Amino acid sequence: MPSLPDIMTPNAAELAKQDGGAGGHAPAPDADQDALVEFLLRMGDNALILGHRNSEWCGHGPQLEEDIAVSNIALDLIGQAAMWLELAGAVEGQGRSADDLAYLRDVWDFRNVKLVERPNGDFGATLMRQFLFDAFHFHQLRGLVASSDARVSEIAAKALKEVSYHLERSAGQVIALGDGTGESRGRMQAALEDQWSYALELFASDGTDRNMAEAGIAPDPAELRGLWDETVGAVMAEATLEIPDSDFAHQGGKQGTHTEHLGYILAEMQFLQRAYPGAEW
């Protein structure tokens, strides 16, 4: 398994050790607030939905260690989602909390990419999805640590420490299974080919992304593709897996057009709040 610095730039490893972000709470000047809310929802929804998918493995992992690890990653992601969605509610200024945004929005209001809402499949498919997302998420958070919005920088610095571990772990597991038996390699290759076109939606930029980049709040996701390719390429080479020769990308999730799978996730995730409005515990 490669060490973490082997699949990151040196600066990334240093950033992952930081104890805090910008330290302030000031918003970025001249930022479009509607675009900022949209961006924050995308960050929160990606983490929330992938966290929920990972939580489905709790008690069902192939080994106790894997069961615990995936459950902990789910908790990390849901914790990050709470921070992003709480900030989205504050910027929006309509009195909605993170819980309101998680439990009281409908499918078309969610802004996560389609990759994170897809069914888990076998454990290899779950690991491949996690790795492809982790490789993007890590480089995205690195850029967000330098955000012109101190609140975004602060959350990113906290999340980066967790996601650094997520990436190291998922990369190691992909390598172990890809360069393992014929059965495990075949499953991982199939998972890579199946997830690839969904992963590429992560780099599809739109007006919100460009607005955030111009304001210095977030890197344009399209500009992260090179870093992602380097990370993914290094891991796949060691895993003896062949990267698909295709740039076709499923799109629409970031704008609220989803697969049928998200509706089933929300039906389960939102049931209690929908059935008992305002319930607290």
Instruction: Tell me the DSSP string of the chain.
Output: ---GGGGS-HHHHHHHT-S-S----PPPTT--HHHHHHHHHHHHHHHHHHHHHHHTTTTT-SSHHHHHHHHHHHHHHHHHHHHHHHHHHHHHTSS--HHHHHHS--GGG----GGGGS---SHHHHHHHHHHHHHHHHHHHHHHHT-SSHHHHHHHHHHHHHHHHHHHHHHHHHHHHHTS-HHHHHHHHHHHHHHHHHHGGGG---HHHHHHHHTTSS--GGGGHHHHHHHHHHHHHHHT-PPPS-------GGGT---HHHHHHHHHHTHHHHHSTT---
Q: How far is CA 204 from CA 106, 111, 112, 266, in A?
A: 23, 13, 12, 25
pLDDT of residue 31: 72
Closest of 271, 278, 233, 232 to residue 134, by C-alpha: 232
pLDDT of residue 28: 59
pLDDT of residue 30: 63
pLDDT of residue 229: 98
Q: Tell me the pTM.
A: 0.90
pLDDT of residue 279: 80
Query: What would the two tokens of residue 205 be?
Result: 């930029």
pLDDT of residue 5: 44
pLDDT of residue 26: 60
pLDDT of residue 278: 83
pLDDT of residue 155: 98
pLDDT of residue 17: 43
Distance, CA of 118 to CA of 133 (rounded, Å): 12
Closest of 74, 12, 67 to residue 47, by C-alpha: 74
pLDDT of residue 74: 96
pLDDT of residue 11: 45
Distance, CA of 140 to CA of 218 (rounded, Å): 8
Q: Tokens 């509706």 sit at which residue? A: 263
Distance, CA of 267 to CA of 271 (rounded, Å): 6
**Contacts for 109 with CB less than 8 Å, ≥ 6 apart:** 256
Query: What would the two tokens of residue 161 be?
Result: 């420490």
Which domains does the chain possess?
A: 32-274 (1.20.1260.10)
pLDDT tens per residue, the chain (281 residues)? 445 445 554 444 444 444 433 434 466 556 799 999 999 999 999 999 999 999 997 887 676 678 688 899 999 999 999 999 999 999 999 999 999 999 999 999 999 999 999 999 999 999 999 999 999 999 999 999 999 999 999 999 999 999 999 999 999 999 999 999 999 999 999 999 999 999 999 999 999 999 999 999 999 999 999 999 999 999 999 999 999 999 999 999 999 999 999 999 999 999 999 999 988 76
